[in-house]
Structure 1
């Protein structure tokens, strides 16, 4: 388990209308995390140094490097002075598939597509999500407020994103935080896989805008509903329509907008044939 702290203390001076004063604040830490598969670095991402086993597995799943945790023969976190390595040993079949599909990335925290080597990869096709999940309007309307109660790192720093998971009849019960919204979602997806939870029976709840990369990750993880406090991009809406994902945005103050596949969020009784 990684021992690096997720926060750091910093001193400074605050200039306000009423004057200047000395301050001491808690800030989020970010470190380079190398995702290494069978001895070869696949990506280096700037991330919060917490829940890195979840992050690494979530990244491996949402990048299609593995399709199931059982395909990982061994895993370890190795710390270096300059950063952290998350080392995977893959079973032979996945190692050969990865060798045939090399993708090198250097990802800043705000970017989920940096370093890809073709435009086709940016708009990659994803599997269509199927699920019988149904959520009530009130559950979705309260989702981001429920997520807020899981944001311990944000409470300390005011500078991190969170991704949470909720199911029908159960508010957000699992969440992960990171300086990057893509990293937070990867951590959540990895945590679901580690716990053996069925991603198709719940919704991901985000503190960020809804970009196409988040929709791609949910599609690959099989998550049928994506809820966020902010706006979606046009590309995210188009991909959600194609991928069978319900997109709910501007989820705050007890309301939200639905942009795709609204049948999963309703207060209507199901029709019985």
Structure 2
């Protein structure tokens, strides 16, 4: 991708707006101000063709577009992406993306199967074969120790600046093998936050297979798919997964951890035995009694 793409990045935008509210308690009502997360429609255009309309936080749109075309498998490498340019329009934002000509057949094929726009991740895909696309197998074992998950959970609030202000956005964080947060992105949509994180990693040349990704949301199957496509070896989510998310993680060999809390986590898929080795054997537990 050329330097022109980076120069097209929009300046820092207000991601929250202050609104007058009435704070009501059983005893009294009072006037107050509340910061509300900004949500805006972002129309994505690829090589001149309308591709999707997503509801998103209107910041980091170059990163968002980069991650979006990558996880949609419209491009295979950053070299296939020519330009990402956001434009503010009356109704919201227009994200104009140009990809290499040899990638355009994939764009046309995906558009052919779209019948509606949706925030669920299917985006109007016509059939199940298109929805449950083949995923790359993850052969590499995660490098992170189990303790790194708890370190990242403790560090995440400091990286959630917009969420601290509004309490209404999702976060996606790239964490080191020791649990340090290396990159974090926020958005009103959990898919968008993850796409922004993937885009930021691509643009900065950061590998996503060294540590793990921590998401503040529930784990739906399309987040597992994005992780697999981006080369993530372990995905950790704060809320619960769906059954399809678990099955897709098993199909592609992604280590999946959900319901991550400060005191315990739930391991749904552990293909490399990262966690089972930490559980005492039955005879050891008997001997300890």
Contact residue 135 and residue 264 of structure 1 kept, 8 A: no
2:80 paired with 1:50: no
**Superposed counterparts of 1:122-133, under 5 Å:** 122-133=131-142
Out of 263, 272, 280, which is 1:263 matched to?
Answer: 272
- Partners of 2:241 and 2:84 in 1: how far apart? 35
For structure 1, list consecutive stretches of 5 or more residues without a partner in the other structure. Answer: none
Counterpart in the other structure of 1:13: 22
Counterpart in the other structure of 2:121: 112
Counterpart in the other structure of 2:182: 173
- Partners of 1:208 and 1:18 in 2: how far apart? 34
Q: 1:197-219, CA deviations, whole angstroms, 9 ceiling, x for partnerless residues?
A: 11122211011111101001111
Instruction: State the Cα distance separating 1:170 from its structure 2 match.
Output: 4.8
For structure 2, list consecutive stretches of 5 or more residues without a partner in the other structure. Answer: 1-8, 279-289
TM-score, normalised via structure 2 length = 0.87
Contact residue 117 and residue 124 of structure 2 kept, 8 A: yes
Matched residues, number: 267
2:10 paired with 1:2: yes
Local SS of the residue matching 1:97: helix
Structure 1 residues 144 and 262, CA, compared in 2 at 3 Å: closer, same or farther? Answer: farther
Instruction: State the Cα distance separating 1:121 from its structure 2 match.
Output: 2.4
TM-score, normalised via structure 1 length = 0.92
Counterpart in the other structure of 1:232: 241
Structure 1 residues 217 and 168, CA, compared in 2 at 3 Å: closer, same or farther? Answer: same
Q: Which structure's relative contact order is higher, taking Cα pairs within 8 Å and 6+ residues apart? A: 1
Greater fraction strand: 1
Larger radius of gyration: 2
2:214 paired with 1:205: yes
Structure 1 residues 267 and 235, CA, compared in 2 at 3 Å: closer, same or farther? Answer: closer
Structure 1 residues 83 and 26, CA, compared in 2 at 3 Å: closer, same or farther? Answer: same
Instruction: State the Cα distance separating 1:8 from its structure 2 match.
Output: 1.0
- Partners of 2:177 and 2:10 in 1: how far apart? 34
Counterpart in the other structure of 1:101: 110
- Partners of 1:268 and 1:97 in 2: how far apart? 43
